[in-house]
Structure formats: C-alpha cells, structure tokens
Amino acid sequence: MATIRSREDQDGITIGWQAQIKRKGFPLQIKTFRTKAEATHWATVTESEMMRGIFIQRSESEQTTVHDLLSRYAREILPTLKGGHKELSRIRVLQNGLGQYSLAALNSSMIAKYRDKRLSTMSEKTGRLVGTQTVKHELGLLQRALKMAVMEWGIALPNGIPTAMVKKPPLPAARTRRLIDNEESRLLDACADAQTPWLLPVVIFAIETAMRAGEILETWKYIKDTEGGKVKTKTSNGLQWSDVDLNKRTAHLPMTKNGEARTVPLSSRAVEVLRHLPRNLDGRVFGTTYEGLHQSYARACKRADIEDLRFHDLRHEATSRFFEKGLREMQVAAITGHKTLQMLKRYTHLKAEDLAKLLG
C-alpha cells in the first residue's frame, strides 16, 4: 500500500508531496511531487503495474540523459569498433539535438522532430542540406546506444526503444557511374602522365580487384577529439607485401570496413601490376596514402576530360565487371566483402548491351 506524506520547509509550509511504495518482490519506490493529486496518481499507476506484472524500474532512466548515454557509449563502446572514431561527430550532433532529455522522457515524437529538423538543416561542411544518409546514420547510432543501455547496462526504458518506431529517411538513389566509351583508356593515359608514379598502378589495381581505397592505401583522417581539437588519426594501414602471395595470386586483408578479414583473388593484370612495383622498406605495397593520391587522381580526370568519376566508382566498375564475366552473387561477395546481397546490388550496375548478348 502506498504512503503519501507532505514535505514541509523550515517554516512548516508544505512544498511538496512524497509517495512511497513498499511491496514484496519489488524495490522501494519513492518519488516527490508538487501536488498531492500527482503523488496519488503516480502511486496508483505504479501499484497497478506491479500487480499486473508490467512494472518497470524508471529511476535510472529518469536520471540518465541522452547526453550521458551517448558519452558512455563513446567512452566504452566506440574504442572497440573498427572506425569507431567516425561516430564521434554524430554523437556530438545527437547530443546537441536530444541530449537534454532523460531516457525515460524520450519518445518517438521527439526523435521524429529531430529527424525532420536535421533534414532541413544546412551542412556547414558542404553548404547543402544535410543528406538523408547522414540522418539515417545518426538515428542508427542512437538506436544502437539505446539497445546497449537496455541489453548490457540494465537501464529499463519505459517507452521501449523509440527509434524503432520512427520512420527512417529514404536512402538517396545509388550512384550508377561507370566507365563509358573510351573513358578507361583516357583515364589510364592521364594517370600515366601524372607526376606521381603510383597513380597508374593504383587505378588499375582498383579496377581489377574492387578493393576499397582504405584497403589499398594507407589512409589518415583529421577528427575532433572530445575537447573539439583536431587530431590526425590513421584509419587504414593499406595493403602490405606480407599479405600478398603472387604465386597463389591472392591478397589477404586482415581487417576490412565491415570488421571481417577476407582474401581477394588477383587477376593476371593485377598480378602484373604488383610484379612491377618496387618494394618499400615499410612493407606497404603502394608507398603513398590516399590523401596524397587524391589530388593527383582528380587532376588526371580533369586532363582526361572525365567528369564526376570518383575513385570509389572504380569499385562499382570492378564489381559490375565480375558479374559480366559470369561470376555468381556469392562469388562476387567473397571478392568484394559485401555482407548482404542488397548491399551488393547497390554497387552493381550491369550494362544493358552486355545483358542483351547473354540473351542471344
């Protein structure tokens, strides 16, 4: 049975009402309210939940804000994830938008309003509206943190996991950019004329293997630390000679973007590229970084008069060519490292004229 007591200040004036519930099998529940009616209502509802077996301990979720939760997630979980540092900027955005709310108060309506506000915000980095992919990543991060709170940290959420009830913004149309007409020969000629000797072999190797830039080359990135300062951090070591077997025609990648190792088979053209490379003392196959190569690649595209061809589009090109050679979905996935066929589909754009040849 609940006990309702008034709370007085030093002058004996009632300043609030405290409700206390003692019930066998449940932790002691104490909460203070401004009016007696509010205290009585809370006690009635709480006792009803206990009797029906649906009571949820709310004290920790009421005392923990979204800001606190995300800070703990950044401190304890992100360091264990490959590329976890990339989530720090998303955590700061989420903390600015939702950080003041307690986990107990957080609901789907608040998150939907956050989603809509973000989609109408101009990005300081690009000068354009924040993209749907960006917002979807932010909501996904929040959902993972809330799940961690429930499953691992013992924080009960009275409203469940509200992000699961919010409609995610639709993804933008996947890029379909491939090399067309004589663009490949023009691109390779321009790469051959580049001042950096690494440009041509890197581009050919990317087209032949569908490997990501961070899997081929050492990659660095400037990120903000918890105090807002910029720190240069290595995000990839790039391909190492110790992981290449020219006799077996394979390149082993011990750690990839999706957190799993994979071994990439090498075409005869890719092997030929590697055989003509000098050996670096640091063990890297390509003795440069993606940051160092980026401008050279952009200049080569400009010299070749090729527009809107990103380095990552070479992965799209290679993946599509694997299908055009007759490889099946699982065979291609084993080479590219895509975890699901849906993800693989986004990187695959087959040419209609090649499909027509298969029809006879």
Q: Grade residue 301 by pLDDT with cuts at 50, 70 and 90.
A: very high
Judge whether 176 lies within some domain: no
Q: CB of 190 within 8 A of CB of 300?
A: yes
Judge whether 175 lies within some domain: no
Residues that are catalytic? 212, 257, 312, 315, 338, 347
13: containing domain: 2-55
**Residue ranges of the alpha helices (H) in 222-336?**
268-275, 290-303, 313-324, 329-336
Same domain flag for 87 and 43? no
Name the helix (H) or strand (E) containing 91.
helix 88-98
231-257 residue pLDDT tens: 666 667 789 999 999 999 999 998 777
Same domain flag for 113 and 188? no
Q: CB of 177 within 8 A of CB of 194?
A: no
Judge whether 174 lies within some domain: no
CA distance 146 to 282: 42
Which CA distances in Å does 335 have to 58, 144, 264, 323, 349? Answer: 48, 29, 5, 12, 17
Same domain flag for 130 and 224? no
Judge whether 342 lies within some domain: yes
Q: For the chain, what is the radius of gyration of the CA atoms?
A: 28
The count of domains in the chain is: 3
In this structure, what CATH number is given to the domain that contains residue 235?
1.10.443.10
CA distance 107 to 162: 5
Same domain flag for 231 and 351? yes
Same domain flag for 44 and 74? no
Same domain flag for 7 and 122? no
Same domain flag for 297 and 197? yes
Q: Give the global pTM.
A: 0.63
In this structure, what CATH number is given to the domain that contains residue 88?
1.10.150.130
Judge whether 288 lies within some domain: yes
Judge whether 178 lies within some domain: no
Same domain flag for 112 and 261? no
Which of 165, 192, 217 lies at the terminal end of a domain, its last residue? 165
Q: Grade residue 74 by pLDDT with cuts at 50, 70 and 90.
A: very high
Same domain flag for 35 and 66? no
Q: CB of 320 within 8 A of CB of 348?
A: yes
DSSP state of 284: B
Same domain flag for 319 and 191? yes
Which of 95, 130, 165 lies at the terminal end of a domain, its last residue? 165
User: Has residue 18 got a pLDDT over 60?
Assistant: yes
Q: CB of 20 within 8 A of CB of 29?
A: yes
Same domain flag for 345 and 245? yes
138-189 residue pLDDT tens: 999 999 999 999 889 888 887 789 999 999 888 777 778 899 999 999 999 9
Judge whether 171 lies within some domain: no
Q: Grade residue 356 by pLDDT with cuts at 50, 70 and 90.
A: low
Which of 137, 165, 193 lies at the terminal end of a domain, its last residue? 165
Give the mean pLDDT of 308-333: 90
Which CA distances in Å does 286 have to 150, 168, 264, 281? Answer: 45, 40, 16, 11
Same domain flag for 23 and 99? no
More confident residue, 112 or 128: 112
Look at residue 45 in the predicted model and tell me its pLDDT. 82
Look at residue 229 in the predicted model and tell me its pLDDT. 59
Q: CB of 156 within 8 A of CB of 150?
A: yes
